[in-house]
Amino acid sequence: MYMRNGIKLPFRVGVSPTLHIRGLIATQRIDKGTLIERCPAIAYKKNAEADKTIFAKYVFDWDETHEALALGYGSLYNHSEKRNVEVDFDLPKKEIVFTALRDIDVGEELLINYNDDSTDPVDPDYISFDKDLQN
């Protein structure tokens, strides 16, 4: 179990059992509705130049004009159309909030939907990039 600021986090960084890239794996049962993590966010105006950087693969759409990079472990939640974690934005506090959508068992990966619940597939370049880091 990881500690951050004296808080025991209910996950560890490991290897995704389905994607075979870095991901977050539950180290204890996480009940539905449990706040998993509040990540400070660095928000900035969307622009074409930023989209060409490596960070484009790790940011969230903050609002119509801004993107945000999640600090903490926020950028390590992997994508699934069958997500078990909900993502919310606390704009006044500039935080990205991760909450369990259902009960999550020990050893299960924590997953969000990058596409706002659409059925669009995740960008394959994201997966290939992270696999390159492991070699």
Beta carbons within 8 Å of 50's beta carbon, 6+ residues apart: 44, 56, 67
Report phi then psi at 81, rounded to 5.
Answer: -70, -20
Domains of the chain: 2-134 (2.170.270.10)
**pLDDT above 80 (res 135):** no
What pLDDT score was predicted for residue 23? Answer: 96
The overall pTM is greater than 0.95: no
- Here the tokens at position 13 are 């960084």
Residues 55-77: tens digit of each pLDDT: 888 899 998 899 999 999 999 99
Q: What SS3 string covers the chain?
A: CEEECCEEECEEEEECCCCCCEEEEECCCECCCCEEEEEEEEEEECCCCHHHCHHHHCEEECCCCEEEEECCCHHHCEECCCCCEEEEEECCCCEEEEEECCCECCCCECEECCCCCCCCCCCHHHHHHHHHHHC
